[in-house]
Structure 1
Amino acid sequence: MLSGREMMRKLKTCSGDQHDIATGIEWLISSADGSSTVAVEPMKMVDPMGPAEVSIHIDAAAEALLMNLTTNAANHEKHGLPRAVMDRLAAIGWLGTAPAVPLQRERAERLAMADVSVWFCWSQHQSPLRLLQSSSNNILRDRWLESLANGKAVGATAFAHLRRHGPANPIACPVPHGWELNGRLDWITGWDLADVVAVQMRAGHEKDAPVLALMLERKTQEQLPKPLQLFPPLELMVMGGTWSRPLKFNRHQIDDDAVLSSMPFETWCSRDKARTRFANPAAFGLARAALGDLRQQCERYAASSWLNGFQRLLAEARELRYRCYAAVDRPDELSNAQHHRLRAAALDLAQRCCQAALISHSGSAMYTGHASGRRLREAAFLQVQALIPPVQERLINSD
């Protein structure tokens, strides 16, 4: 088998394009011995779309981390996101209590530009933090609030099952001094990264059974009590590095001290619908990354017709992002249907930008680990993440 150095010499005789050479080494080594993808020096990130507000500044430490995340995104997907990534986000002040909305949006966009798996685990941290901040359970607040707020502890969450039709699963039933949990959570994102997981479930089978929010300390299967069964990470077409696992409850009992809050199901649904009607900043982060990639491809091939398509997508992305964020900032000025239309438009835009970038790479984009292929799959994930029927219908019936 040729060494990496020998492959470099061989490829140099075939092409004078350094980008082609680096890409060729990456895939030849991967296919020759089945080993992990070899890291190559990344091209400078191009960001023609830029931030939503020009006054927002990202410091050098954050830029360095973002470049590292971009470079390692394929390895994250293949081998799993390391906990060190979350710790590094905490070290630069990005994990914990959210800053002002414009800055938090920019952080979400930049993380999605780099690696949507990182963005997703980062965004999940906010759910247990917000639940703690509004909880009257002083035992849990004293145990976790400060460390979640400063990022020293990492939080995960599970509540998407509450949106499903049909019988509640899992459920909590009252027992003396606490609750008994039964059923199965099909998907907990970031289990292996977290210190604590906020789980929300129905308190009974009745249609009006309230939603109970509780805290579970993350443990390995060997450390978990017997009534809890943790399953291996799910094999997913995308987001494979997020350590998403099912968890089964078999008469697992918790004390009242583990409960964060209880809320009427109708109230929970109303709040969830209010949140999920808005466009996701991660969609614009993906669009930014794809447009930067497409711009580089236009320059690489001096393709003026491609440049026209790029410019149309860029103008559309900037205008749509402005409208979406204005709608979030002034939600009462639009109807729910208008909010749903904007969210669907943002998801569709991200998909079209990622698809255009992938097509510009032609056959090379089909290699496992190629950034444009990963981004297109990430765009597909965003289309089903926190999906609600009005947005689903618009995406299915879009022209």
Structure 2
Amino acid sequence: MTIAPHPLVARARRLATEVLAPRAERVDQEGVPVSSIDAVKRSGLLGVSAPVAYGGSAAPAAVARETAEILAGACCSTWFVQTQHHTPVQILARAELPLRERLLGPLAGGELLSGVAYAQLRAYPRVPVRVTRERGGWRFDGTVPWYTGWGLNDVMLLAGVTDSDEALFAFTEAREQPGLRASPPMRLAALTASRTVSLELAGLWLPDEAVALRTPYETWAAGDRPKNTNASPAVFGVAEAALALLDGDSVAGETAHALRARLDRVRSRAYALADHPVPHERIEERLACKTQAYDLMRAATTAAVVAGGGRTMDLGSRAQRLAREAMFLLVQGQTAEVRQAHLGSLAAAD
């Protein structure tokens, strides 16, 4: 008996087939257009994990992972812009604050798209963004080295460290304003289309009502550290897209069949680990599975380039785009622990 896919999975496939994949090569060269973001907003996918009471779907983690795979495989740049949105939604869903009542509904329903500016917290004890108490609110000073979706996001979740070593997260509009200036868009080897900039903060002031989370840094870090030890669904999505380019070829098809079987096994193990009820357990196993997923993604995209031959050197080649996106995913969200595990696995390889 055939089981119908979850409605959000069906919407993700339709969005990927009708909007994202057909324009992905052009987007790669020209940038994610507002029209693609509008299509994502209309799809309902921005509320995949949000509470139903606020207009979300509260879908199981497996559904969120599958929709992420589909979007990343269709257009990794668009996936990367919209994936930033889900952390602010999750933080607001847990916040017992008036801010939740003001923002969670518009974010869950797709009226607003949020970016994030908090990866710099992982540099602690170095503090790239310092937050100090000022005039009944909070002053932000420093540099956010990476901010994705500039010009596409409506709001951003900005974080820094206070003088009492707290991690403080607050929302503000994603635009230049007094105390906040964006660099020109970065030229990157992959995902230049994602409109990534750095942000200079020089006295940006936000009121108490903008604060979504304020917690001791170590409390935040203890919850953050295990997250990046899990394999990203985007890795599997890009790998699957590369393998799809080999299907139908009598020689390359055999390679695709073998790699897909291995990919399925690693995906099943990775997602079982992600669903483990204690996030900080089985870390070594999670990291090993993550590096295996990287290896298979690299093999799949390499196979697509090899099968495509010289024409894959054209910037309009889908195989080449996927290979560059795979390179990006090797370092996306990378922590020192992930880097060490990945390098160790490469050194141990035959």
1:191 is paired with a residue of what secondary structure? coil
Question: Does the 8 Å contact 1:87/1:152 carry over to 2?
Answer: no
1:280 equivalent to 2:236? Answer no
1:366 equivalent to 2:313? Answer yes
Partners of 1:102 and 1:56 in 2: CA distance: 12
Question: Does the 8 Å contact 2:150/2:195 carry over to 1?
Answer: yes
2:68 is paired with a residue of what secondary structure? helix
Counterpart residue number, 1:22: none
Counterpart residue number, 2:83: 123
Deviates more, 1:62-71 or 1:210-219: 62-71
Counterpart residue number, 1:63: 13
Structure 1's consecutive aligned runs of 4 or more residues displaced over 4 angstroms after TM superposition are 57-62, 331-334
Deviates more, 1:263-272 or 1:306-315: 306-315
1:323 equivalent to 2:278? Answer no
Map residues 184-333 of structure 1 onto 2, 5 A cutoff. Answer: 184-204=143-163, 209-219=165-175, 221=176, 224-225=177-178, 227-296=179-248, 299=249, 302-303=250-251, 306-332=252-278
Question: Does the 8 Å contact 2:140/2:160 carry over to 1?
Answer: no
Question: Does the 8 Å contact 2:228/2:338 carry over to 1?
Answer: no
1:219-269 CA-to-partner distances (Å, cap 9, x unmatched) read: 2x4xx22x2222111111111111111111112222222211211111111
Counterpart residue number, 1:77: 28
Note the C-alpha offset of 1:101: 1.5
**Paired amino acid for 2:308:** H
**Paired amino acid for 1:214:** A
Q: Cα distance 1:346–1:209, how it changes in 2: closer, same or farther (>3 A)?
A: same
Note the C-alpha offset of 1:158: 1.2
1:251-291 CA-to-partner distances (Å, cap 9, x unmatched) read: 22222222112111111111111211111111111111011
2:247 is paired with a residue of what secondary structure? helix
Larger radius of gyration: 1
1:156 equivalent to 2:115? Answer yes
Partners of 2:295 and 2:197 in 1: CA distance: 28
TM-score of the pair, normalised by structure 2: 0.89
Note the C-alpha offset of 1:317: 0.6
Question: Does the 8 Å contact 2:143/2:199 carry over to 1?
Answer: yes
What is the RMSD of the two structures over their aligned residues, measured on CA atoms? Answer: 2.0
Partners of 1:262 and 1:315 in 2: CA distance: 45
1:108 is paired with a residue of what secondary structure? helix
Matched positions, count: 333
- Show structure 2 runs of 5+ residues with no match: 50-58
